[in-house]
Amino acid sequence: IQRIVVKVGTSTLTNENGHLDIEKIRKIVLELSNLQDKGYDVILVSSGAVGAGMGLLNINEKPKTLAEKQMLSAVGQVSLMQIYQTLFKEHNKIVGQLLLTKEEFSNRKRYLNMRNVCNAFLKRKIIPIINENDAIVSNALKIKVGDNDTMSALVSGLIDADLLIILSDIDGLYNKNPRKYEDANLIHIVGDINEDIKKMAGAEGSKFGTGGMITKIIAAEMVTKIGTSLVIASGDEPKNITRIVEKENIGTLFV
């Protein structure tokens, strides 16, 4: 069996108001369900909780305070999971929620415990849906992973994934930010993550995301060191998930 971690970013899950895009989520769920039916172990790392909270409370602007953001993530996490549960149920799949912190990866006992729990999920073909426990952790507490790109890389190590797929609002890594430079070119494969590659990623991301491209490059650096490949691709076309698993040349592959 091959183990696949799929990370979907805020920019993929939410629309221009920052609210959840249910139709998009429905398509992602279909892809993941199909993969599981084909015998793959599937783990989902999902952002989007804050966006879901904003939708529920009809808020259209980014939260201004940390406490407000944490509250929104708690409200939204419930509704995000409710949506996943309903949509996966249509494919007879059961999901479970795992809200993690950095401690799960830095404390050996918690790490081993988490690994056992994940394996218990996969043994029963339950799809773990993972997110940072944003309502509980803040940067000040120093127990925060900080972004779900890094989280997905850590999870890939935890469960010994063969492949990590990061879906974003962009179809891969470009040699420079394509939102700024019209002549930017998509890079199809990266074998060596050097300083040049990191420079391409720059610092900024989309309106509601937290990571940007650089956290995806760091995730790539982490997983390729342990023999896991990573593909960054566009989440606008969820069928990309299956295509990538079937080794079609989509997005940017890091090996």
Q: Rule CB under 6 A: which residues touch ligand ADP?
A: 9-12, 168-170, 173-174, 176-179, 200-202, 205-206, 209, 211-213
Contacts 24+ apart (CB under 8 A), 38-41: 39/1, 40/1, 40/2, 40/3, 40/4, 40/245, 41/1, 41/2, 41/3, 41/4, 41/122, 41/159
Residue 3: strand, helix, or coil = strand
Name residues whose C-beta falls within 8 Å of residue 183's C-beta, 6 or more positions apart in sequence.
none
27 phi/psi in degrees, rounded to 5: -70, -40
Residue placing its CB nearer to ligand ADP in the complex, 146 or 202: 202
Going by C-alpha positions, the residue among 231, 205, 99 that lies closest to residue 153 is 231
Residue placing its CB nearer to ligand ADP in the complex, 86 or 206: 206
CB of 171 to ligand ADP, least distance (A): 8
Query: What is the number of the residue whose Cβ is closest to ligand ADP?
Result: 9
Alpha helices by DSSP H, the chain:
10-13, 22-37, 49-56, 66-89, 103-106, 108-123, 148-158, 195-201, 213-225, 240-245
CB of 1 to ligand ADP, least distance (A): 27
Residue placing its CB nearer to ligand ADP in the complex, 104 or 171: 171
Residue placing its CB nearer to ligand ADP in the complex, 211 or 238: 211
CB of 148 to ligand ADP, least distance (A): 7
CB of 208 to ligand ADP, least distance (A): 7
Task: Report the first-to-last Cα separation within the chain, whole angstroms.
Answer: 20
Going by C-alpha positions, the residue among 236, 230, 235, 231 that lies closest to residue 250 is 231
CB of 161 to ligand ADP, least distance (A): 18
Residue placing its CB nearer to ligand ADP in the complex, 95 or 213: 213
Residue placing its CB nearer to ligand ADP in the complex, 41 or 165: 165
CB of 139 to ligand ADP, least distance (A): 17
